[in-house]
């Protein structure tokens, strides 16, 4: 009898602690929407940007270099990768080009070793490849194996090489980009399932890493960025039409990169580009399936990534 009473009191106390904790973190989040955490200084950090040859990856590499970061520009295309480095050098930033096929584990590990010996320990990892572009909506979908290699497995090869070092030095920031928007519809139903499956896998990867790191006392930060927009670059194809720009306007790769770096510098665990759509994404999940499909139809968009 007494034991029972005791366990009920313990349970009540636990529940109360939980409620106060939950309430408090909601308050903090609300407060931070009005007063975001300060921007951290990135001077002398070393960033490895995968997909630095074009699109958002290129803009991220350029903007990071302007903040005093040494940037390892990684791309499979030597011409565009060198062009990004040239552009950074012209504005007196520090960057080097590394040509690497990130779907190849051996190449990745060799490249990371070279980066570390030439620029120093990698403290920021940004993978900007494999996020579907609007072109993916109208082109023939790539082979399933290739999609998995580029969008998921390459993350593991990079983490394999970069993560242990970060744990040794006790410092690091891994930014994982994912986009599930813009993949519904299209003429060939089902053809884009591998693409969006890969995007969900990437989100799962980010959440698994966050859960894993929660119980270790390392200072490694994992940031998951949901890229929602209709990023339309200069090369925007006129044959691709999105419904959403007419409602919300378009966003350039430069602006998207600016928002991604802003969230990175505030150490957010999860955010979206544009910011307000994160909540919409959450709402989609609690709505009945039919309603969420209707909302998705309205939001049918694409992203233009490297
Ligand atoms: C790119 O730059 C690297 C190193 O600076 C050089 O070895 C390579 O030949 C360049 N490639 C092209 C296609 O310009
Ligand atoms: C890189 O990290 C290693 C430990 O993993 C450390 O011994 C080394 O001094 C670091 N290098 C630099 C340039 O900070
Ligand atoms: C995917 O990666 C594996 C292992 O690296 C490789 O054997 C395979 O050829 C790749 N497939 C494609 C389509 O790139």
Band of residue 166 on the pLDDT scale cut at 50, 70, 90? very high
Q: Which residues line ligand 2 (CB under 6 A)?
A: 120-121, 165, 168-169
Reduced to 3 states (helix: H, G, I; strand: E, B; else coil), residue 95 is: strand
For the chain, helix (H) and strand (E) counts, in that order, are: 12, 7
Looking at 187-191, 217-221, 274-278, which range is the least confident one? 187-191
Q: What is the pTM of this model?
A: 0.83
- Domains of the chain plus CATH, in order, are 44-298 (3.40.50.720)
Strand partners, 84: none
| 94 Cα: distance to centroid of ligand 3 (angstroms) | 33
Q: Please give the biggest Cα pair distance in the chain.
A: 78
Which of 53-62, 84-93, 244-253 is least confident?
Answer: 244-253
The pLDDT of residue 184 is 47
242 in helix, strand or coil? Answer: coil
Of 19-28, 200-209, 231-240, 276-285, minimum mean pLDDT range: 231-240
Tell me, using a 6 A CB cutoff, whether residue 78 lines ligand 1: yes
Confidence of residue 220 (pLDDT cuts 50, 70, 90): very high
Q: Is 145 in the pocket of ligand 3 (CB under 6 A)?
A: yes
241 lines ligand 3 (CB under 6 A): no
Give the mean pLDDT of 262-281.
85
pLDDT in tens, 95-151: 999 999 999 999 999 999 999 999 999 999 999 886 766 555 556 667 888 888 988
pLDDT for residue 37 is more than 70: yes
Atom number, ligand 1, closest to the C-alpha of residue 82: 1
Dump pLDDT digits (tens) for 68-81.
999 999 999 999 99
Q: Identify which ligand lies nearest to the alpha carbon of 194.
A: 3
* Alpha carbon of 103 to ligand 3 centroid (Å): 7
Closest CA to 205 of 134, 154, 242: 154
Q: Please, what sign has the CA dihedral across residues 59, 60, 64, 69?
A: negative
Q: Establish whether the linkage from the previous residue to 274 is cis, with ω within 30° of 0.
A: yes
């Amino acid at each position: 009898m007494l034991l029972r009473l005791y366990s009920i009191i313990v349970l009540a106390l636990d529940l109360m602690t939980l409620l106060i904790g939950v309430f408090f973190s909601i308050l903090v989040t609300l407060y931070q929407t009005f007063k975001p955490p300060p921007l951290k200084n990135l001077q002398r950090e070393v960033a490895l940007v995968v997909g630095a040859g074009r699109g958002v990856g290129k803009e991220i590499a350029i903007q990071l270099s302007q903040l005093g970061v040494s940037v390892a520009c990684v791309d499979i295309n030597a011409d565009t990768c060198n062009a990004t480095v040239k552009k950074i050098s012209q504005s007196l930033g520090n960057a080097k080009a590394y040509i690497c096929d990130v779907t190849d584990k051996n190449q990745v590990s060799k490249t990371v070793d070279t980066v570390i010996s030439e620029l120093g320990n990698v403290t920021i990892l940004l993978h900007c490849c494999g996020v579907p572009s609007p072109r993916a909506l109208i082109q023939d979908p790539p082979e399933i194996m290739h999609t998995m290699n580029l969008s998921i497995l390459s993350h593991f090869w990079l983490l394999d090489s970069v993560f242990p070092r970060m744990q040794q030095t006790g410092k690091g920031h891994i930014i994982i980009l994912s986009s599930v928007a813009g993949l519904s519809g299209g003429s060939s139903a089902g053809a884009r399932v591998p693409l969006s499956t890969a995007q969900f896998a990437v989100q799962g990867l980010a959440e698994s890493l966050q859960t894993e790191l929660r119980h270790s006392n390392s200072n490694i930060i994992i940031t998951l960025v949901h890229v929602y927009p209709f990023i339309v670059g200069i090369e925007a194809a006129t044959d691709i039409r999105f419904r959403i720009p007419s409602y919300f306007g378009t966003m350039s790769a430069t602006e998207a990169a600016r928002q991604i770096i802003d969230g990175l510098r505030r150490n957010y665990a999860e955010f979206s580009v544009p910011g307000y759509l994160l909540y919409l994404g959450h709402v989609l999940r609690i709505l009945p399936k039919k309603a969420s499909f209707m909302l998705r139809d309205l939001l049918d968009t694409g992203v233009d990534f490297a």
